[in-house]
A and B are shown apart, each in its own frame.
Chain A
């Protein structure tokens, strides 16, 4: 199975909003509302930021929001802060061959 496509890097100034895209197919992102997003700081385990396309786990800032249109999911970070600088990965459920999951290629977010 092929990894979902994310931009390699996205940058923004403090206070700005940025959006990270995650493009798949009708067999994964487009076919199910099981898209999740993860934040990973260097040397750390990933942290769940969004699940089921747009739901935030308890404790995650409301500056993070998720959405989906067709085969592309998106993560928006509003009011960008220095601590948001990290790698971000999307993941989707897929049934292209057997029930499984597939991650995105990852996006490095830089706060200018």
Chain B
């Protein structure tokens, strides 16, 4: 059974860079046809797609976040990572890592449990 687990600091200071890693177990991140991505949910609000990466390194970002987001993949460790720069309180959210099956945008069939990141001094 595929499992995704987010890890990283739960508290980030304003203007700094948020960094999270997602570790994939029970399957290979290099399997063809799957896109690995990040989705966030501010407390009490809706879901926002941040971006995705293919194991080859091709990346796709939310245009509204593109200037601050970097998603990378480490196939040797079966992990992918998120960096979000110049954070503000508006970036406080529950961050999920996830797998898109069959192609970008077709459907997220596996989710991590989510990790809460608070932006505060």
A residues in contact (CB < 8 Å) with B: 1, 3, 32, 34, 36, 38, 40, 45-48, 50-52, 57, 89, 91-94, 96-106
Please measure, in the bound complex, the distance between the C-alpha atom of A68 and the C-alpha atom of B104, giving whole angstroms. Answer: 19
Please report whether the interface of chain A is mostly helix, strand, loop or mixed according to DSSP.
Answer: strand
Check if A51 sits within 8 Å of B101, measured CB to CB.
yes
B residues in contact (CB < 8 Å) with A: 39, 46-49, 51-52, 60-64, 66, 96, 101-109, 111-114
Work out how many contacts link A and B, with CB atoms closer than 8 A: 82
Check if A106 sits within 8 Å of B46, measured CB to CB.
yes
Check if B63 sits within 8 Å of A38, measured CB to CB.
no
Identify 17 new A-B residue pairs, CB closer than 8 A, beyond the known A91-B105, A101-B52: A1-B62, A46-B96, A46-B108, A47-B111, A51-B107, A52-B106, A57-B109, A89-B46, A99-B104, A100-B51, A100-B61, A101-B104, A102-B49, A102-B62, A103-B46, A103-B47, A106-B46
Q: Chain B contacts of A93 at CB under 8 A?
A: 104-106
Please measure, in the bound complex, the distance between the C-alpha atom of A48 and the C-alpha atom of B47, giving whole angstroms. Answer: 13
Check if A52 sits within 8 Å of B46, measured CB to CB.
no
Please measure, in the bound complex, the distance between the C-alpha atom of A104 and the C-alpha atom of B46, giving whole angstroms. Answer: 8
Check if B107 sits within 8 Å of A3, measured CB to CB.
no
The 3 closest A-B pairs by CB, nearest first: A93-B105, A51-B107, A45-B111
**Which of A50, A52, A97, A103 is close to B49, meaning CB atoms less than 8 Å apart?**
A103
Check if B108 sits within 8 Å of A100, measured CB to CB.
no
Please measure, in the bound complex, the distance between the C-alpha atom of A40 and the C-alpha atom of B105, giving whole angstroms. Answer: 18
**Which of B52, B105, B109, B114 is close to A32, meaning CB atoms less than 8 Å apart?**
B105
Interface centre among A40, A45, A101, A106 (most CB of B within 10 A): A101
Q: Chain A contacts of B49 at CB under 8 A?
A: 91, 100-103
**Given contact pairs A51-B101, A100-B49, A103-B47, A57 touches B107 in the complex (Cβ within 8 A):** yes
